Chains A and B, each alone.
Chain A
């Protein structure tokens, strides 16, 4: 299998700071891949190295099998990047911006596809507007359009929904999911973990410039996160149950579940103790739990 992105032992230092400390990472063709980590984890540095905006001190990176240094023209031709910063050229209109970007990739007469991008990103009525006149959300859409203008097989979105409204998020994710269904490999970094959980089939987590986890999203959730049973009772829990969880205000308790079978056992003990349950909920594991656990472990 050919990898869309492949990184081997990538190191990068900025002065005394180690931004990346030997990153190994693979993204398969057609995947929707999440790259998560706290601020300063090295996500943007990693993306910069893949995109050729920064150079690794050691190690190798490739896009669709093309080395990003030795074969940079092919690597870049296969890659579209939506940068994190909201940058634009104030001299030009939206359509000009997309035409220029298309031309930089050596593609002329690309107006049919540019029109389709404008339509899909809700920019059709802004095509002739100067970039300066657009709102932040609209500028973000243009950035996405610029990354797609050469129809790259691999698309990296570096926090594309940071600070944008719900409407854009939904429009954007619909479009990106469509691109992924059509065969594009998508790599996403985001601080919105629910987005990553909903969209990404596989996830890598970075902490301090190192990959601390890299697996299928479902497997990460299974391995690192737990479900919880939340109970509110009228009265005091029997000793054995109370020992499993600290009491919270108003008779509320939260039990960590090794499996959902434990729910029965806990409820049976509560009933045996003659307690009345006033509220009950099962909290399923989510990526935030995985993230917090892994970041905590990596920090320890």
Chain B
């Protein structure tokens, strides 16, 4: 083999890193796709059975129909976060992240590959949850563009937050703590299972500081054509949070924070 002096670095490493990240979760699809779909189905069965007849958010639709989009979005967000966070922390702990750090992959390519793979997993899980919930309740489809927009932006935001957590974490416990003390409470208190109008005024105000509320509310607007706050406000909050997360990530990657000693 003759050495190839590479005066121009080869093509982009992004497509292969993206493909590898897709393959990584797809190889264990039972754990990364099927399991969250099953979990969402259990939520739907239990909550709709217990609360149907007691809670009616929209006069023309069942509680199950109200719950289904919330569960879809919650599953998407949690799995988008889990994808980038778990991939990165696994690579850091086992040491194989070095294979991604040695090649001439730019910060934007690195970020893009992890976040886009997280979006794909989020959307895959979301599609699965939607498919099974349709067996029990069929919500209307008022504005599909909002559905797609919030699904993609929400998954991208959580993929980016997952990447932030993965870079920050030094062991699996850190990721578990992030999930248990931040992601899980924020998703449960976001209006997945209820409308925030059913909350006391104080907690309604608190909900407005929860980005998950805007993601769920905007996504649900796409189905019902009505929401707790304007979808444009929700879009602005989600896009702003995404820009903040991406900006923070780029600074961290530029400085090599916790990745390059």
Residues of A within 8 A of B (CB): 14, 48, 51-55, 64, 72-79, 81, 83, 85, 87-92, 96, 99-108, 113, 116, 146, 148, 150-153, 179, 182-185
Q: Are B23 and A91 in touch, CB under 8 angstroms?
A: yes
Neighbouring B residues of A74 by C-beta, 8 Å = 6-9, 104
Q: Are A100 and B16 in touch, CB under 8 angstroms?
A: yes
Q: Among the listed A83, A89, A105, which residue makes an inter-chain contact with B104, where contact means beta carbons less than 8 Å apart?
A: A105
Q: A91-B27, A150-B10 are in contact. Are A103 and B102 (CB under 8 A)?
A: no
Neighbouring B residues of A185 by C-beta, 8 Å = 3
Q: A72-B104, A106-B10 are in contact. Are A64 and B260 (CB under 8 A)?
A: no
Q: Among the listed A79, A100, A101, A106, which residue makes an inter-chain contact with B11, where contact means beta carbons less than 8 Å apart?
A: A106
Nearest A residue to B113 by beta-carbon distance? Answer: A104
Bound complex: CA A64 to CA B9 (Å) = 13
Q: Are B101 and A52 in touch, CB under 8 angstroms?
A: yes
Q: Are B1 and A153 in touch, CB under 8 angstroms?
A: no
Residue from B13, B19, B91, B104 with most neighbouring chain A CB atoms (10 Å): B104
Interface size class of B (residues with CB under 8 A): 35 or more
Neighbouring A residues of B94 by C-beta, 8 Å = 87-90
Interchain residue pairs with CB less than 8 A apart (12): A48-B261, A78-B5, A89-B91, A89-B96, A91-B23, A91-B27, A103-B13, A103-B19, A150-B6, A153-B5, A179-B3, A185-B3
Q: Are B96 and A113 in touch, CB under 8 angstroms?
A: no
Q: A53-B260, A53-B261, A105-B10 are in contact. Are A81 and B102 (CB under 8 A)?
A: yes
Check if B181 is an interface residue, CB within 8 A of chain A.
no
Q: Are B2 and A77 in touch, CB under 8 angstroms?
A: no
Q: Tell me how many residue pairs across A and B have CB atoms closer than 8 Å.
A: 127
Q: Are B4 and A151 in touch, CB under 8 angstroms?
A: yes
Residues of B within 8 A of A (CB): 1-13, 15-17, 19-20, 23-24, 27-28, 91, 94-96, 98-106, 256, 260-261
Q: Among the listed A14, A51, A106, which residue makes an inter-chain contact with B102, where contact means beta carbons less than 8 Å apart?
A: A51
Q: Are A103 and B5 in touch, CB under 8 angstroms?
A: no
User: What are the 5 tightest A-B residue pairs by CB atom distance, in nearest-first order?
Assistant: A103-B16, A106-B10, A106-B11, A87-B95, A104-B103
Bound complex: CA A74 to CA B8 (Å) = 7
Bound complex: CA A53 to CA B256 (Å) = 9
Q: A153-B5, A182-B3 are in contact. Are A52 and B102 (CB under 8 A)?
A: yes
Bound complex: CA A73 to CA B107 (Å) = 11
Neighbouring B residues of A83 by C-beta, 8 Å = 95, 98
Neighbouring A residues of B11 by C-beta, 8 Å = 106-108
Neighbouring B residues of A77 by C-beta, 8 Å = 6, 9-10, 103-104
